[in-house]
Amino acid sequence: MSLADPKSVKVNITTGTGVDIEWKDGHKSHYAFQWLRDACPCATCSEERTTDGRKPGDPIKQAASLLPMYKPKLRPESANPVGKYAIHFKWNDGHESGIYSWDYLREHCRCSECHTPAATDKIQ
């Protein structure tokens, strides 16, 4: 697989809409902050996803008996590039272990062109 390389990266912390990446090949990707948090590539989150049988970005299943709690809308407190290959988020829920490589993000592009639910289901 070719190395993903962004031309521009926009992290919309103030508006809370997510991350917009335009790639060198002209492709554009958008990632919601909640999706990014649920797709955290760190060892702990990957393990939790494997245990729950979730794919990267799938929301954590909550027990139906639990009352919904008011939580501040998830967003990063800061976002910083890691070398030339990745981006790091410090989330407002205190988590900050995940390093999101451009490869990882491009692989999980959310656009309708790249993300067809049928194709993803087949892999499982």
Q: Are the beta carbons of 105 and 97 closer than 8 angstroms?
A: no
Minimum Å distance from CB 48 to Zn ion?
8
Is 98 an interacting residue with respect to Zn ion (CB under 5 A)?
A: yes
- Residue 64 CB, nearest distance to Zn ion (Å)? 25
**86 sits near Zn ion (criterion: CB under 5 A):** no
Q: How far is the CB of 29 from Zn ion (least distance, A)?
A: 5
Binding flags for Zn ion, 38-77, as an x/- string (CB under 5 A): --x-x--x--------------------------------
Question: Torsion angle, CA of 65/73/42/28, rounded to 10 degrees?
Answer: 120
The answer for residues whose C-beta is within 8 angstroms of residue 5's C-beta and 6 or more apart is 23, 24, 102
Q: Which is nearer to Zn ion, 13 or 110 (CB)?
A: 110
Residue 4 binds Zn ion, judged by CB under 5 A = no
Instruction: Record the tokens describing residue 87, joined without a space.
Output: 């981006």
Closer by beta carbon to Zn ion, 18 or else 98: 98
- Kindly state the helix (H) or strand (E) to which residue 36 belongs, with its residue range: helix 33-38
The arrangement of strands across the sheet holding 76-82 comes to: 76-82, 86-91, 99-101
Query: Interface residues with Zn ion (CB under 5 A)?
Result: 40, 42, 45, 97-98, 109, 111, 113-114
